[in-house]
């Protein structure tokens, strides 16, 4: 038996998903946007202590936006532990969370590159891609994950400035980053979008956010058809309620924060760590027939 067999056997032990992570009610809490995972109660789990790699992405080079927290951080940790060199983008206000993500990736011995910047600026998007390519020595994985979510009870409360900020963060940046990255991505590369169940079943108070997630879904399917003949795969992940700073920094009311995830069949929200393996699978070369697909992770509710 291999030396690490007992550890792997233990990590694969059966566990009840309804009790594996915290359930609501959660403490009411608010942070200014964009929020920090390190200051949430309870703290989200990004797989810091649990994700075990097996060299599935050895030698790969990835750029992940929103890599400081949430699904982006979970993917960054997992990618590095799978053998990839990783660059993460984040807002300067998220430096505290980003430093922790960088440190965790550096522990693997892989390159871990910090690229702060506001993606609402086309020039910033272009610079981030070029810096990632320069410091990583190339690029073959792009994860468009950064997002803005701010709830508004009425369309009358949704200002043009808010609408513009959400569109630029979630849609324009995805377009700018992908266009810039394609110049560098060889056949065998992969692009992954973080869309949402909001694309299929939008909430009444997340009109602009849901619109952007539907746009990301459509972009994924269109680009899969366009890039398939070039050997580049494009897929999406559609999370349901997952415990991230989006919720506590204006993305949900305090009432919804308190009860977040209680209506899923599992009775709780997801944790970013529970989605990390989906991003790894979509990035890995052995998923070579997966393109134009949207992979749901909503705890038994929502679509797809």
Give the integer Cα–Cα distance in Å for 83 and 177. 23
User: Could you list the active site residues?
Assistant: 209
Q: Which helix (H) or strand (E) holds 161?
A: helix 160-167
Closest CA to 193 of 162, 226, 224: 224
How many CB atoms neighbour CB 268 within 10 A?
Answer: 22
For β-strands 141-144 and 190-194, DSSP reports them as parallel
Residue appearing with tokens 């997630």 = 213
In sequence order, the 6+-apart residues with CB closer than 8 A to the CB of 260 are: 24, 26, 241, 243, 247, 252, 269
Q: What is the SS3 assignment for 71?
A: helix
Q: Is residue 256 classed exposed, middle or buried when 0-12, 13-18 and 19+ CB atoms within 10 A define those classes? A: middle
Cis ω before 42 (30° cut-off from 0)? yes
């Amino acid at each position: 038996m291999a030396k690490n067999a007992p550890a792997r056997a233990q990590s694969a032990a059966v566990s009840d998903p309804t009790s594996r992570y915290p359930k609501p009610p959660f403490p009411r809490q608010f942070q200014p946007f964009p929020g920090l995972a390190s200051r949430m109660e309870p703290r989200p789990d990004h797989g810091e202590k649990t994700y075990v790699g097996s060299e599935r992405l050895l030698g790969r080079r990835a750029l992940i936006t929103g890599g400081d927290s949430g699904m982006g951080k979970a993917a960054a940790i997992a990618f590095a532990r799978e053998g990839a060199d990783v660059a993460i983008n984040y807002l300067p206000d998220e430096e505290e969370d980003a430093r922790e993500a960088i440190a965790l990736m550096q522990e693997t011995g892989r390159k871990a590159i910090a690229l702060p910047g506001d993606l609402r600026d086309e020039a910033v998007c272009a610079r981030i891609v070029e810096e990632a390519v320069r410091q990583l020595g190339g690029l073959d994985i792009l994860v468009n994950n950064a997002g803005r979510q701010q709830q508004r009870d009425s369309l009358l409360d949704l200002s043009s400035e808010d609408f513009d900020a959400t569109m630029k963060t979630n849609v324009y940046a995805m377009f700018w980053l992908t266009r810039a990255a394609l110049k560098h991505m060889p056949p065998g590369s992969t692009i992954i979008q973080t869309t949402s169940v909001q694309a299929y079943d939008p909430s009444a108070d997340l009109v602009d956010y849901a619109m952007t997630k539907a746009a990301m879904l459509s972009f994924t399917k269109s680009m899969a058809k366009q890039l398939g003949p070039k050997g580049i795969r494009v897929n999406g992940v559609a999370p349901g309620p997952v415990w991230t700073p989006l919720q506590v920094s204006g993305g949900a009311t305090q009432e919804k924060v308190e009860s977040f995830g209680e209506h899923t069949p599992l009775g709780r929200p997801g944790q970013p760590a529970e989605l990390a393996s989906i991003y790894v699978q979509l990035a890995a070369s052995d998923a070579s027939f997966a393109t134009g697909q949207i992979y749901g992770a909503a705890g038994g509710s929502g679509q797809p």
